[in-house]
């Protein structure tokens, strides 16, 4: 079922061969039917090597009758009385041997004729003592023998006006060659068919061109695209293991189809390995598809799954060591049981009302329909002797059957990926709503802070006499303002993080839409058989998927960083990568500044000491310190840019260096700087050089307290 359709073609073709008349041991040729004349009777066999055996006058009446047009392992020596004897393969192992056949051609046969030859050894063909052709290399030295199968290559048969003809074949099997039961020709010893030269050339050309049919190339392309697509799905969303298993299935089937495109192997010693590799790839591929469906539907791998796994391993081993049972398991038992198990899983998922289960069931039903159509077409063609036309239909239904379940599974996994993407967009919307609320709260708190500052100034002027009471109120207000400053910092962090996540998600959405359009174009180009354009579009899809993965990882890193900074309790110190926090805070502060001023541009220089390792800090506190420092630096260069000429380029530099048990963090900018007369006041609470409404005067004060709490000091 999974095997290449050519095997079915050979079976049907051989079944319809006509035989010529056999009178007194001489084949009589008076006409050539369309399918040719198979020479499977009248052959005589003799061991040994003598050039006289090629001459037409040699007396071969004592030779034994054989039928060489059978498999190496099942041909039997025919004897005149008993009809059976020793295995022909045993007789052939003795070295070079000869086959001879006599036939008579009427003078009315005036079409150019040809010998159509298939074999499992090396041979030389003589007609009336004259060498016609040779295939492979014959030698008395076993190491120099090379068996060669011409696969029906036509050899011109000169009749020279007709009459009695003798065809002699000098023949030998190559030692130590394994014969695969998976070979489409059945490892025939020597099969010769007489046909018209025109028909022989046409059939030989069609035999090899059919190996590159549009359907097979289409199947290769489908599996290649499925492999790339589901590898991208898995890399973007590793939690869904079904994409990994389906990628392995598509990869194995891609190589299975590549080897299956050219199943005709001339060098006989390579046939065994080539055909077994092809079948093993197919068996392992379908086992991975079954594994993908088990994972997809969350089904436990019970005894059925492990029995099929064991059967696959047995089939692979038997293919390597036997000639019949491995083929029977690999071609008949295993694929059909796996497909039935897939259909059973799909049916149960539909009954359980699992999302998308009907898609897999539809693929399984399609598989059964196409397989039955292929079988009925083969039976109809066999009994009506209509081979070529039905072979095209059988090939079509065969390919459609092989693609039904994989395409249905891929559609299901694609929908599952779409559902995941939709959930991610919903989470993004929730983050945006939280960000908006946080910003609104920050604005409200800034207004409250401004009002309270005015109230404090009025109270200081109006209640000088009540200094003790005012001091107590000031302390209470200070505690409230510190909490508000922390909330303001949280708002800025949230806004920056939301902006950071928005960018990669925009890329993901945009490239996903582009890929959807490209897939539509890909289907159109496939229908037009424009495979160069198909490859180009596939490369574009692959490039877009790489960008989607890259930006998805970027969003994932941002979320993980945010969780890392917020997962610990208040005041709990954990090993922290200072360089990573500095880099994240730089991005957050920069995007926050850009949110306020779209024209803001600055050159950022970093020089991080990569040998720092990790230090024990409270990550949330470090984030507040670094964001405050970077906000002040960006504010300073932005204010200078407003007053300077166009020759000024804002610049902010950040560096780290390890000094003994400590780490030194330096933040520099080329802004206006701090006036010397106020340099001693910058760490005092409520002191600020910013205009009213642009600063609380608590940022550096809180930062200084946090650094001191971690055992550090100001530089």
- Alpha-carbon span 393 to 379, nearest angstrom: 12
Asked whether the predicted pLDDT for residue 89 surpasses 70, the reply is: no
Confidence of residue 374 (pLDDT cuts 50, 70, 90): low
Give residue-wise pLDDT tens across range 275-327: 778 778 888 888 888 888 788 777 888 888 888 888 888 877 877 765 566 66
How many Å apart are CA 119 and CA 96, to the nearest integer?
15
Q: What DSSP designation does 186 have? A: -
CA dist list (Å): 527 to 246, 389, 399, 429, 521: 25, 22, 15, 40, 10
**Is 6-208 a domain of CATH 2.40.50.140?**
no
Least confident of 105-114, 148-157, 378-387, 523-532: 378-387
Pairing type for strands 97-105 and 26-29 reads: parallel
Asked whether residue 124 carries a pLDDT value surpassing 90, the answer given is: yes
Helix, strand, or coil (residue 645): coil
CA atoms within 13 A on the CB side of 274: 18
- 163-187 average pLDDT score: 78
Query: How open is the CA angle 67-72-77, to the nearest 5 degrees?
Result: 40
Write the DSSP symbol of residue 155: E
Residue 190 Cα to chain centre, angstroms: 42
Distance CA 24, CA 42 (A): 9
Query: What number of residues does the chain have?
Result: 715
Q: Where are the domain boundaries for CATH 2.60.120.260 in the chain? A: 6-208
Average pLDDT over residues 381-410: 61
pLDDT, average across residues 328-346: 75
Torsion of CA 146, 152, 156, 158, to 10 degrees: 100
Angle formed at CA 35 by CA 30 and CA 36, multiple of 5 degrees: 40
> How large is the average pLDDT for residues 566-591?
76
- Furthest CA-CA distance within the chain: 146
For residue 416, what are the contacts with CB-CB under 8 A and spacing of at least 6?
240, 242, 296, 356
Kindly tell me if the per-residue pLDDT of 107 is higher than 90: no
DSSP 94-151: TS-EEEEEEEEE-TT--S-EEEEEEESSEEEEEETTEEEEEESB--SSGGG-B-B--S
The answer to whether the CB of 474 falls within 8 A of the CB of 516 is: no
Region 171-182: mean pLDDT is: 77
Structure tokens at 113: 């004729």
Where exactly does CATH 3.30.565.10 map onto the chain? 569-715
End-to-end CA distance of the chain: 78
Where residue 529 falls (left for φ over 0; alpha for ψ -120 to 50; beta otherwise) is left
User: Angle of helix 531-566 relative to helix 467-527, nearest 10 degrees?
Assistant: 160
CA atoms within 13 A on the CB side of 103: 29
Q: Tell me: the pLDDT tens digits for 48-73?
A: 899 999 999 899 889 988 888 877 76
Tens digit of each residue's pLDDT (9 = 90 or more) over 490-502:
555 565 566 667 7
Show the CA angle centred on residue 529, arms to residues 526 and 534, nearest 5°.
50
Contacts of 182 (CB under 8 A, 6+ apart): 3, 275, 276, 278, 279, 319, 326, 327, 330, 331
Residue 190: name the closest of 131, 149, 154, 158 by CA.
149
Higher pLDDT, 125 or 523: 125
From 39-53, 472-486, 578-592, the region with the lowest mean pLDDT? 472-486
Burial class (CB in 10 A: 0-12, 13-18, 19+), 170: buried
Question: Going along 517-614, which residue ranges are E strands?
Answer: 574-576, 603-607
Counting other chains too, the contacts that 435-442 makes at CB distance below 8 Å and 24 or more residues apart are: 435/494, 435/495, 435/497, 435/498, 438/490, 438/491, 438/494, 438/495, 439/491, 439/494, 439/495, 441/487, 441/491, 442/487, 442/488, 442/491, 442/492
Q: pLDDT: is 453 or 87 the higher one?
A: 453
Distance CA 41, CA 54 (A): 19
Domain at 569-715: CATH architecture: 2-Layer Sandwich (3.30)
- Average pLDDT value for the chain: 75
């Amino acid at each position: 079922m999974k095997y290449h359709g050519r095997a079915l073609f050979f079976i049907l073709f051989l079944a319809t061969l006509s035989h010529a008349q056999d009178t007194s041991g001489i084949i009589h040729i008076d006409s050539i039917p369309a399918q040719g004349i198979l020479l499977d009777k009248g052959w005589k066999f003799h061991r040994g090597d003598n050039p006289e055996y090629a001459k037409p006058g040699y007396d071969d009446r004592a030779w034994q009758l054989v039928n060489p047009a059978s498999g190496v392992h099942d041909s039997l020596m025919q004897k005149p009385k008993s009809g059976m004897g020793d295995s022909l393969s045993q007789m052939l192992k003795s070295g070079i041997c000869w086959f001879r056949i006599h036939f008579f051609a009427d003078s009315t046969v005036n079409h150019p004729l040809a010998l159509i030859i298939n074999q499992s050894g090396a041979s030389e063909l003589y007609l009336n003592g004259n060498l016609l052709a040779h295939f492979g290399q014959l030698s008395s030295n076993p190491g120099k023998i090379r068996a060669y199968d011409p696969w029906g290559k036509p050899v011109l048969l000169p009749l020279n006006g007709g009459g009695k003809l003798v065809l002699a074949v000098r023949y030998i099997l190559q030692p130590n060659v394994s014969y695969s039961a998976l070979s489409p020709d059945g490892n025939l010893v020597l099969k010769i068919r007489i046909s018209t030269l025109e028909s022989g050339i046409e059939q030989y050309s069609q035999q090899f061109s059919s190996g590159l049919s549009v359907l097979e190339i289409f199947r290769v392309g489908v599996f290649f695209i499925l492999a790339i697509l589901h590898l991208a799905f898995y890399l973007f969303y590793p939690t869904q293991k079904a994409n990994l298993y389906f990628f392995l299935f598509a990869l194995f089937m891609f190589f299975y189809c590549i080897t299956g495109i050219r199943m005709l192997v001339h060098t006989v010693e390579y046939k065994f390995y080539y055909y077994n590799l092809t079948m093993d790839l197919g068996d392992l591929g379908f086992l991975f598809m079954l594994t993908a469906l088990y994972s997809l539907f969350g089904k436990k791998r019970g005894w059925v799954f492990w029995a099929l796994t064991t059967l696959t391993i047995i089939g692979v081993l038997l293919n390597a060591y036997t000639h019949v049972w491995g083929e029977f398991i690999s071609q008949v038992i295993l694929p059909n049981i796996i497909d039935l198990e897939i259909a059973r899983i799909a049916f149960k998922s539909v009954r359980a009302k699992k999302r998308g289960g009907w898609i897999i069931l539809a693929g399984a039903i399609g598989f059964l329909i196409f397989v039955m159509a292929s079988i009925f077409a083969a039976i109809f063609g066999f009994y009506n002797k209509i081979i070529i036309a039905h072979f095209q239909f059988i090939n079509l239904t065969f390919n459609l059957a092989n693609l039904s379940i994989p395409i249905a599974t891929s559609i299901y996994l694609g929908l599952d990926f779409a559902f995941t993407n939709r959930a991610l967009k919903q989470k993004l919307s929730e983050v945006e709503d939280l960000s908006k609320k946080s910003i609104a709260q920050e604005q409200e708190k800034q207004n409250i802070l401004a009002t309270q500052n005015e109230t404090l100034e009025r109270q200081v002027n109006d209640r000088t006499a009540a200094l003790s009471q005012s001091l107590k109120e000031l302390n209470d207000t200070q505690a409230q303002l510190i909490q508000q400053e922390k909330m303001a910092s949280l708002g800025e962090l949230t806004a920056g993080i939301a902006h950071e996540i928005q960018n990669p998600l925009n890329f993901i959405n945009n490239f996903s839409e582009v890929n959807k359009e490209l897939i539509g174009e890909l289907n159109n180009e496939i229908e037009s058989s424009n495979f160069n354009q198909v490859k180009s579009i596939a490369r574009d899809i692959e490039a877009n998927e790489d960008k989607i993965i890259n930006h998805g990882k970027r969003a994932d890193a941002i979320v993980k960083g945010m969780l890392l900074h917020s997962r610990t309790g208040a005041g709990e110190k954990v090993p922290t990568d200072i360089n990573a926090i500095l880099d994240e805070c730089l991005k957050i502060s920069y995007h926050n500044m850009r949110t306020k001023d779209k024209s803001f541009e600055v050159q950022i220089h970093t020089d991080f000491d990569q040998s720092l390792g990790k230090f024990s800090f409270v990550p949330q506190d470090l984030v507040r310190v670094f964001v405050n420092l970077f906000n002040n630096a960006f504010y300073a260069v932005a204010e200078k840019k407003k007053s300077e000429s166009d020759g000024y380029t804002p610049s902010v530099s950040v560096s780290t260096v390890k000094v003994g048990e400590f780490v030194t963090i330096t933040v520099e900018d080329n802004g206006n700087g701090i006036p010397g007369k106020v340099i001693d006041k910058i760490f005092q609470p409520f002191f600020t050089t910013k205009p009213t409404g642009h600063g609380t005067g608590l940022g550096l004060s809180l930062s200084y307290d946090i650094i001191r709490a971690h055992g550090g000091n100001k530089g």
